[in-house]
Structures are given as C-alpha cells and as structure tokens.
Structure 1
C-alpha cells in the first residue's frame, strides 16, 4: 500500500517556546517534529494530526487541556529520493499541513520505538537548527507568530 502524498507536521512546544524534537529510527541523526501522512483520502487533517501526535509521542490532544492549533498553512515539497519508494510510482511531491500544540514541559513522552530513538526539548533557535527538513525548521521559526489563542 502506498503512502498518500499529503501529510501533517505538528510542532510541539511549551509556553516558554521550548520545542520537542524526535530522532528518526530509520535515519539516526535526522531530527524532526511529529509528521505523518493521511491514512485515507477522506481523513480530516485535524484527525491525522491528533492520531500522529498520539502514535509518535503518546500525547493525547483532548481538545480541552491539550489542543491542536491548525495554522492553515501548507507546504509543498519534493519527497526525498530515499523515501519515494513509499509512494505510488511517479509521485515526487508531498503537501504538508502545519499544526502546533502547547504542552506542559513535564508531560510524559512515550516514543514509538519503531519510529523514533530519542527526544529532546530545545530552545526555539536550537530546535530549528537541528531539524533536518527545511519546512520543519521554518515552522519552528514561525512558531511565535502562531501561538495558540
């Protein structure tokens, strides 16, 4: 089954603008925010973001205490050649929709070991520098303009 070339990026942060990054298990040294593709073409983006957030970190966005914030921002980028085999033949680009979520610094993080090796809380600029994806780094840098209302 091929991945759908539409995904979410969820920037996890604290009120003090510390950003949570996770290291990919399939590419050690590649750090990122939560990402993931739609499971079905009709899956709402908010549900994709909620599902991926929980699957990758164990953080449950309950809509009350922990709320996802849709930036209404999309990035279209070329899929890295190393990951193109996951998509249908001829698919070269992905559309990524950006979300953020503010959480307490002491929230338990439960990584999916098949997806991620470790996590780190970093100040905004250091987090942007560590992101391997330019769209992820840009989202981290834009975070102050998109703080949850």
Structure 2
C-alpha cells in the first residue's frame, strides 16, 4: 500500500508517519507538521479545536493522496494524518509526509497536498483566544458550499 490516511483524536506521532513513507527508491522524505501557533492577527491563541466528518474526510484525504501520486510520479508513498479535538499551542494538528525519488518533486507534492487538504477536507477548526473569544474557521470547500 502506498497511501496512508487517518483522522484521530490522539496526539500525532511523527516517527510513525515518517517510518510509513520510507521507501528504498526514495532519495527524499518530505515532512510537514502543522502546529497550533500562539497568536493570530494580534490575538493570543490558547488552542485550536478541530471537528471532522471522519468518513467523508478519510475518503477526501485518500482522493487527495491518490491524485498527488498521479500528478507527481516520482512520489512513492504518502501519509496524511489529521487530529481532531483540542490541539494545544506548539502541538501538531496535521502531518503530511511522503517519499520521493527526487527532492524537488517531493517538496512540490507536499505543498500541493497541504493546500488540497486545507481546501477540500471535511475538517473544521475553532480557534480559541486568551480573552475568551473564539472563531470558527471553515475550509475553502465549506465556504463555497455556504455561499451557494
């Protein structure tokens, strides 16, 4: 199997994701870990809370990973893992890893996958601030559906 995707409420394990994508033909492993930062637009962030429609999100992540493999032929394996629930500051909420014969195509593929996950996956977040406020943020696909 060359694609692994998962939605979990448990802390993410970068070693597990990186070990999954290792491949003997790969000259590069590309890894992205998206973490909760402590500020957004001047407000102190205390956490992000993610919600997902797991069955749909898994299917969307599998589609994105398979599209990436077709678009970037030197990519051997891809893993996309997203966390749900509360994700504290400096903690990963999403991990994308892949192995590629060449690093340049690997970097391009990783960026492409991240943007597609942000645009299409049925995953939403609530950003919580130190002042007690919060903002619900939808992905691009949700925003398009809400406007139609």
**Higher percent of residues as helix:** 2
Q: Which has the larger radius of gyration?
A: 2
TM-score by length of 1: 0.30
TM-score by length of 2: 0.30
**Higher percent of residues as strand:** 2
